[in-house]
Amino acid sequence: MPSLKRSFIFLFATLMLGQAVSAQADLPDFTQLVEEASPAVVNISTRQKVPDRVASGGQAMPDLEGLPPMFREFFERNIPQVPRSPGGRQREAQSLGSGFIISADGYVLTNNHVVADADEIIVRLSDRSELEAKLIGADPRSDVALLKVEGENLPTVKLGKSEDLKVGEWVLAIGSPFGFDHSVTAGIVSAKGRTLPNESYVPFIQTDVAINPGNSGGPLFNLAGEVVGINSQIFTRSGGFMGLSFAIPMSVAMDVADQLKSDGKVSRGWLGVVIQEVNKDLAESFGLDKPAGALVAQVLDDGPAAKGGLQVGDVILALDGKSIIMSGDLPHLVGSMKPGSKAVLDVVRDGSRKKLTLTIGALPEDGDAIASTPAGGGEAASNRLGVKVAELTDEQKKSLDLKGGVVISEVLDGPAALIGLRPGDVVTHLNNQAIGSAKTFTEVAQSLPKNRSVSMRVLRQGRASFITFKLAE
């Protein structure tokens, strides 16, 4: 019996050891990838002339003259000191970032924010040699910068296809967090196609790879040792890594780099519309089966969309056969198209699906300026929504580029107050019907259905959006 017991224990231990070895074998080994890729990853430092009495952190330097020795020693020890330039009237500020070499003759990719406003850019190679870099071009919208150093037969990275990445796939970053050169961190792809605030034209790769200050501009590798992204930014409330990091897809970065190299600037496609997300209530009000697509809240005058027949209230479901699931998908697709190219849009209008063919325009350098909303005037009319509205004057219609609509002059107790309407808001559509006058607004409001989502298009300070509400009475 004891022998049988020992045999059982031995068998159990063998099985557990086998499972542990198997689990270990399933984990990726990054050693060869790091050895092969590290030589092409560089550290980037910049020098920028700043006023003499400004410290490296942008704080004014205190006047230490006349202070007691113990206090002067404290300030000198704890305030970051930067070297004075000749004459003592300027100082040099330095910043640290990362980058990687994409060609043997010395082209380097990094983030725009790493080298922005720099007077001098220094690239330090893995052998600690330093080369001065020339800025070929930078694109703030994508946060990509292309540098050039003089050299031959420099080590280069292998470039991969970011579109082939899959959520859950292992990825690895090499960079210089806090100045620690060639630090390696690893994780997985958390999501793809992320849209971040003020970053409409980059479908970011989200990962849980540890990224910190100094990693910016460094490469994100797949397990094949190919660069699939440029580490760009993190989401944080503490100033440090919190598990959310974002990389610019390599397909976007190389398109930008090629344009900077050939033209010195980047051209992007443009529709000339203001869009918003389609939520459950909006989907119901527009007769959609499920929340999807990009709702057109505003069509800019004389823009590509206006010339192509796109209308306010259209829901764009696809562009050239590529589905628009989230509204942020549309700027990514349009921005990647060449101005002058043709695009086919699948839209839902008045509950029916149709196709529109239009010509993509060029994104304006200064963005799309939209007029602000003036105060309303004219005769007021009351209605069951709990607002008083007034006709728009001809001057107001011209300034807002409107053919109709009413302005809210007073918000009373009722549904309008609950959904956040304010005096000065301009209503152009209610329940998918264009509003041409205060009388029309009142008539449409009186016939609104109960206990069903109803949409309303509102302009506030010149920006248009659709909101939804339900009348429970």
String of b and e for 287-302 (b: at least 16 CB within 10 Å)? ebeeebbbbbbbbbee
- Cβ atoms 210, 231 nearer than 8 A: no
Bridging pattern class, strands 158-159 and 226-234: parallel
Q: What is the pLDDT of residues 433-469, one digit of tens each?
A: 888 888 788 878 877 887 778 888 888 877 888 888 8
- Cβ atoms 201, 332 nearer than 8 A: yes
Q: Which mean pLDDT values do the consecutive 10-residue runs of the chain (473 residues) have?
A: 59 59 70 95 86 48 43 41 49 77 96 91 93 95 95 94 95 93 95 80 93 93 97 79 91 95 91 88 86 89 90 92 89 90 93 92 63 34 70 76 81 76 85 83 81 82 80 66
Specify the pLDDT at position 72: 40
Specify the pLDDT at position 61: 45
Which tokens sit at 148?
């050039």
The 3-class SS string of the chain reads CHHHHHHHHHHHHHHHHHHHHHHHHHCCCCHHHHHHHHHHEEEEEEEEEEECCECCCCCECCCCCCCCHHHHHHHHHHCCCCCECCCCCEEEEEEEEEEEECCCCCEEEEEHHHHCCCCEEEEECCCCCEEEEEEEEEECCCCEEEEECCCCCCCCCEECCHHHCCCCCEEEEEECHHHCCCEEEEEEEEEEEEEECCEEEEEEEEECCCCCCCCCCCEEEECCCEEEEEEEEECCCCCCCCCCEEEEEHHHHHHHHHHHHHHCCCCCEECCEEEEECCHHHHHHCCCCCCCCEEEEEECCCCHHHHCCCCCCCEEEEECCEECCCCCHHHHHHHCCCCCCEEEEEEEECCEEEEEEEECEECCCCCCCCCCCCCCCCCEEECCCCEEEEECCHHHHHHHCCCCCEEEEEECCCHHHHCCCCCCCEEEEECCEECCCHHHHHHHHHCCCECCCEEEEEEECCEEEEEEECECC
Which tokens sit at 292?
């999807």
Task: List the domains of the chain with CATH numbers.
Answer: 38-84+91-148 (2.40.10.10), 158-263 (2.40.10.10), 269-362 (2.30.42.10), 380-469 (2.30.42.10)
Q: What is the pLDDT of residues 248-259, one digit of tens each?
A: 999 999 999 999
Residues carrying an active site annotation: 113, 143, 216
Specify the pLDDT at position 14: 60
Specify the pLDDT at position 457: 87
Instruction: Give the dihedral of Cα atoms 341, 346, 347, 353; nearest 10 deg.
Output: 150
Which tokens sit at 388?
């008083």
How far apart are the C-alpha atoms of 377 and 389, rounded to whole Å?
Answer: 9
Q: What is the pLDDT of residues 200-217, one digit of tens each?
A: 789 999 999 999 989 999
How far apart are the C-alpha atoms of 183 and 126, rounded to whole Å?
Answer: 12
Specify the pLDDT at position 456: 85
